[in-house]
């Protein structure tokens, strides 16, 4: 089974911008959350698959690493043309030790949890070592549903 492009956009809107997904269930569709909350972007040093969790995907471990927290709002994300993009630069914590290369990113809901919802390969790997601040420029993360 496949999803239509419009349904994929509706789901991305619900997840990233807390906008109702129309025409599902009753006339109001899938409703947004009363409190939008936030999403957590994680960095990973090896491939992620549909069957893995954050802890089994080599989540970044450089000194001071923490997931980047981003709001679920239309000012943080844009959903259009089959994808969702970050509207602002995303800066992770500056590395205080260690050396590694980040090759994947994930969308993880819990600060310390293993539940990856979406993931993707980075277009360009991020070499991280002491003093480096991993970041993504605005519109650098293009997330799609396949």
Is 24 among the domain residues? Answer: no
Q: Which residues contact 146 (CB under 8 A, 6 or more apart)?
A: none
CA distance 91 to 145: 24
Is 50 contained in some domain? yes
| Residue 19 forms part of a structural domain | no
Instruction: Give residue 37's pLDDT.
Output: 85
Average pLDDT over the chain reads 88
What is the rounded radius of gyration, in angstroms, for the C-alpha atoms of the chain?
16
80-99: per-residue pLDDT in tens? 988 899 999 999 999 999 99
Residue 29 lies in a domain: no
The residue with greater pLDDT, 51 or 54, is: 51
Q: Which DSSP category does 19 fall into?
A: -
Asked whether residue 7 is domain-assigned, the answer is no
> Tokens standing for 142?
């293009």
Domain assignment present for 9: no
Q: For residue 13, list its beta bridge partners.
A: none
Note the pLDDT of residue 144: 86
Most confident of 23-32, 45-54, 103-112, 122-131: 122-131
Element (H, E) at 7: helix 5-17
pLDDT of residue 92: 97
Q: Does 48 map to a domain?
A: yes
How many domains are there within the chain?
1
Q: Which domain holds residue 89?
A: 36-143
* Parallel/antiparallel/unpaired status of strands 142-143 and 90-91: unpaired
**What tokens does 54 get?**
């954050």
Q: Give percent of the chain with pLDDT exceeding 90.
A: 47
For residue 119, list its beta bridge partners: 106
pLDDT for residue 75: 95
- Express each pLDDT in 94-145 by its tens digit: 999 999 999 999 887 665 666 788 888 898 999 999 999 999 999 988 888 8
Q: Which residue has the higher pLDDT, 47 or 50?
A: 47
């Amino acid at each position: 089974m496949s999803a239509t492009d419009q349904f994929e956009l509706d789901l991305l809107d619900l997840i990233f911008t807390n906008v109702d997904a129309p025409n599902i269930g009753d006339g109001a569709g899938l409703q947004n959350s009363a409190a939008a909350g936030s999403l957590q972007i994680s960095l990973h040093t090896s491939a992620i698959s549909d069957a893995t969790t954050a802890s089994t995907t080599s989540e970044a471990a450089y000194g001071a690493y923490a997931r980047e927290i981003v709001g679920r709002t239309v000012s943080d994300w844009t959903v259009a043309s089959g994808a969702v993009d970050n509207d602002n630069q995303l800066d992770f914590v500056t590395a205080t030790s260690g050396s590694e290369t980040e090759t994947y990113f994930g969308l993880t809901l819990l600060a310390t949890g293993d539940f990856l919802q979406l993931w993707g390969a980075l277009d360009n790997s991020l070499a991280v070592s002491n003093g480096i601040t991993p970041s993504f420029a605005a519109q650098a993360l293009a997330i799609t549903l396949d």
